[in-house]
Each structure stands twice: as structure tokens, then as C-alpha cells.
Amino acid sequence: MNFSSIKLDRSNLTCFKKDVFRVVRAIPYGRTMSYKDVAKKIGSPKACRAVGRALARNPLPIIIPCHRVIGSNGELRGFSTPGGIDIKRKLLLMEGSRFRRSLR
């Protein structure tokens, strides 16, 4: 599913968040990217945690598919919507994504 044609009001976002959300929004259905990969893609390779914090404040978690961002070791990491990691896992499984099964 691709929601790229939906226009978003990004006027209240920092440049950093705009960059993070742009990269995450471009992750194709059924694919994943690590927080580290997102950080590298926006030109801030050491900003993995900042990427995570930006995604934790994602106002539109399906339109900006932050569930597709996982740990660099392939494990599922944080997801701030109700249901947390369980919902992230279900969304990724529904999309046919491959990720490392974590204990959590």
C-alpha cells in the first residue's frame, strides 16, 4: 500500500523530522529499514536514537509507516502506538516483511 499521494502539512516539523518522515514514508510495503539506515540516509549516521525519538512522535503512523523501521540486528524495537511491539509485529507480518523474531 502506498500513501505517497496524500499531502501532509509539515509546516510545524523540524528539518530533522521532515527528513526522517520523508525517508520512512518511502519505505516500500513489505520492506523494512533500520533506525541506523534511516539516520545514514538523512546524512546523520550517528542519529539512530534521534530517529527513534522522531518516530515515537509520528502523528500518522500508517501514512508514515514507522512500523517498518526495526533494529539494525533485525529485531523489533519500540512502537509507541497502543499495543506497541505486538501491533508492529502484526503489521509487518501482514505485509510479509522479514525480521528477526525477538523475545518480546
Position with higher pLDDT, 61 vs 93: 93
Q: What is the CATH number of the domain that holds 38?
A: 1.10.10.10
Q: Which of 66, 69, 70, 91 is catalytic?
A: 66
Per the structure, the complete domain to which residue 71 belongs is given by 15-95
66 is known as an active-site residue: yes
Quote the number of domains for the chain. Answer: 1
Taking only the tens place, the pLDDT of each residue in 4-39 is: 778 888 888 999 999 999 999 999 999 999 999 999
Asked, for residue 104, whether it belongs to a domain, the answer is: no
DSSP for 2-70, written as a single string: --TTS----TTS-HHHHHHHHHHHTSPTT--EEHHHHHHHTT-TT-HHHHHHHHHT-S-TTTS-GGGEE
Whether 8 is in a domain gets the answer no
